[in-house]
Amino acid sequence: MQNILVYIVIALGLSIVINIFLKKIGISQIIGYILTGIVIAYGFDLHEASHSHELEMAGEFGIVFLMFTIGLEISLERMGSMKKEIFTNGFLQVGVTTIITYILAHYLFALDGKSSIIIALAFSLSSTAIVLTYLKSSKEIHTAYGQNATGILIFQDIAVIPILILIGFLTNEGEQDIFVILWHTLLSGIVVIGVLFTVGKRVVTRLLHFSSSLEVDELFMGSVLFIVMASSLFAYYMGFTYSLGAFVAGMIIAETKYHHKVESDIAPFKDILLGTFFVVVGMKIDVLLFVDHIGLIIGLFLLIFFLKSLLIFILLQISTTNITALKTALFLSQVGEFSFVIFALAASGHILDETLVSLLVLVVIFSMVVTPFFVPYINKITKKLIQEKDVTTDLSAVQGRENHVIVCGYSVVGKFVTRYLEELDAPCVIIDNSNKHVKEALEDGKEAYLGDASKTAILEALNTEKAAAVIVTLDNIAKKRLICEVVLKQAENANIIVKVVSLEEKEMLSDLGITTIVDEKSEVARVLVERMLTCQIKYS
């Protein structure tokens, strides 16, 4: 026990020192955690400990809390609006990538059918931990490519379940009928989701209500941890992954008024456990095997990188712009953490050779190590490779502009706002993150640009400091708050007018010092009364 505490203290201290240094040179802390794992494993000869079930469980719960925070941002309503990103794009990406990779593994590398299908399925998955961590921290998760990447990653996480079932079926050499297994799995899935969204939703709502009403942070945090852990364990005992239960729990809380508080409170736990996950990944690295096969490992990585990028780009460019498709493809070009589970299960079932598994694990780790180095430059890479001509993205025309109105969003309310501004001869600039909305604005003869209004660089390009006002017409409360925070940080005295749809949203924005918050329902009521007062009384 004492030795374990020593290792934990050393790992914690080492990771802090390494990450402080890496942060100063602009490198992701994920690399720091992986380096910590390598140093710990070789410094204390703990290679075997990296395969410890308890340690892997601690690391896996980093993914659990990450999936929980994703669930917090994806309510049932939003998931319904993301059907294309999750089910269409996700299914096509996993299916097509699996088929092409299987053909290459079986016919080019002469592997047997079982090995080829396992490798193909594992390589079709991308890293939820790395990609979503970056998208959330950079606030790019709300962009078109961020939504595409998020939807595909959600489908991949769901796809892990049938993949693990298939491996179990292959391990048992067909002793059980696969249709029986699939039927039991489908039935269990219905039970899990049904219980969590009926009984679970009532329990969660009441528990959070009572714990928050007591105004004791420890009780509220304890309630959240209980909800995450209980949901994860329930899903696991029903034959699914822990992360699926956590994801559903997040979706349930997303339907309540506590989701913003829960998300901010849970962040430290998620980040610490994610760090544990990457330390375990680092401990798995066999440096000698990597050096001996460095050419093969880098070659396989490059093959996977270009193959996945090309396939995802081709699949997505049918339904979106080339630049959005390429950005999404580059974000998802690596191999994900769930491949460790797939390879470990396949090796224990003697489907894959141990030496082959060790080599494949190194390829996966190498792809995960490389990814944080290039994802910050994806926007620059895509701009050099593709010049978008159908949508205006060059904001240079706005430079030097003064006393203009910046309208964030060109949906229904945004269209009415710009119409009234035109009647007043007030110059306005529209910024929207939706390619469709920007095209509509351009077709309507408006000055519109494609971009994320919560990005400092975009606001600087729009000359926000010299703008007469910033009108926020979006529906997403999290996005509205983020835009207001960034605008006020850049232009402290900015005139911000924000549309809200409820008192709850109004309270969420009340601490920011926004110039005007327009309550949609209150304004409608006021206009109705004003119209009533101007009506002539009719006598019978």
Q: Considering the entire predicted model, what is its pTM?
A: 0.66
Give me the percent of the chain exceeding a pLDDT of 90.
Answer: 17
Tell me whether strands 516-519 and 405-408 are parallel, antiparallel or unpaired: unpaired
Mean pLDDT throughout 304-324? 90
Co-location of 221 and 355 in the same domain: yes
Identify the pLDDT of residue 537. Answer: 58
401 in the same domain as 380: no
pLDDT score of 47: 65
Whether residue 415 is found in the same domain as residue 499:
yes
Residue 23 lies in a domain: no
Better-predicted residue by pLDDT, 77 or 376 = 376
pLDDT digits (tens, 9 = 90+) for 389-412: 445 566 767 877 888 999 999 988
Whether the pLDDT of residue 52 is over 80: the answer is no
What's the N-to-C CA distance of the chain in angstroms? 91
Angle between helices 29-43 and 2-24 (to 10 degrees): 140
- Round to whole Å and give the CA distance between 207 and 219: 10
Q: What pLDDT does residue 172 have?
A: 62
Highest mean pLDDT among 18-27, 227-236, 271-280: 227-236
Lowest model confidence (mean pLDDT) among 17-21, 28-32, 174-178, 340-344: 174-178
Asked whether residue 100 carries a pLDDT value surpassing 50, the answer given is yes
Which amino acid does the sequence have at 214? L
Q: How confident is the model at residue 92 (pLDDT cuts 50, 70, 90)?
A: very high
Position 183 scores a pLDDT of 73
Same domain, 277 and 420: no
Total residues found in the chain within this entry: 540
Lowest mean pLDDT: which of 97-111, 302-316, 437-451?
A: 437-451
Same domain (yes/no): 205, 167? yes
Q: Per the domain annotation, does 540 fall within a domain?
A: no
Q: Which of 46-50, 84-88, 170-174, 236-240 has the highest mean pLDDT?
A: 84-88
Residue ending a domain, choose from 361, 385, 409: 385
pLDDT at 1: 46
HSE, CB side, 13 Å, CA atoms: give it for residue 448: 25
Helix residue ranges, H only, 424-539: 435-443, 456-461, 477-490, 503-509, 520-534
Total tally of structural domains belonging to the chain: 2
Asked if residue 18 belongs to a domain, the reply is no
Lowest mean pLDDT among 163-177, 249-263, 350-364, 474-488: 163-177
- Return the minimum-mean-pLDDT range out of 266-270, 484-488, 525-529: 266-270
Domain end, chosen from 357, 385, 413, is at 385
Report the C-alpha gap between 237 and 523 in whole angstroms: 51
Tell me, yes or no, whether 333 and 404 share the same domain.
no
Cβ atoms of 191 and 27 within 8 Å: the answer is no
CA distance 225 to 460: 40
Q: What is the pLDDT of residue 390?
A: 46
Is residue 332, in this structure, part of any structural domain at all? yes
Are residues 423 and 520 both part of a single domain?
yes
Q: What is the CATH number of the domain that holds 443?
A: 3.40.50.720
Residues 275 and 133 in one domain: yes
The mean pLDDT value for 66-88 works out to: 76
In a domain, 444, yes or no: yes
Residue-wise pLDDT for 424-477, tens only, equals 888 899 999 888 888 888 888 788 888 888 888 888 888 888 899 999 998 888
pLDDT at 178: 57
Within a domain: residue 432?
yes
C-alpha 265: how far from its chain's center? 18
Q: Are 263 and 409 in the same domain? A: no
Whether residue 321 is found in the same domain as residue 419? no
Residue 294 pLDDT grade (very low, low, confident, very high; cuts 50, 70, 90): very high
CB 133 within 8 A of CB 146: no
Give the tens place of pLDDT for each residue, 144-163. Answer: 788 889 889 988 877 877 78
CATH number at residue 320: 1.20.1530.20
Q: How far apart are CA 506 and CA 512, in angstroms?
A: 11
Q: What is the mean pLDDT of the chain?
A: 82
Q: Indicate whether 376 and 413 sit together in one domain.
A: no
304 pLDDT band, cuts 50/70/90, is: very high
Pick the last residue of a domain from 360, 385, 410. Answer: 385
pLDDT for residue 218 is more than 60: yes
The answer to whether the CB of 327 falls within 8 A of the CB of 378 is yes
For the segment 279-304, the average pLDDT, to the nearest whole number, is 88
Distance CA 151, CA 81 (A): 11
What are the Cα distances from residue 245, in Å, to 61, 77, 252, 266?
A: 12, 19, 11, 16
Domain that holds residue 494: 396-534
Domain contains 168: yes
Looking at residue 412, its pLDDT comes to 87
Does residue 26 lie within any of the structural domains? no
User: Are 151 and 251 in a shared domain?
Assistant: yes
Q: What would the pLDDT profile of 189-206 be if each residue is shown by its tens digit?
A: 778 778 877 887 888 888
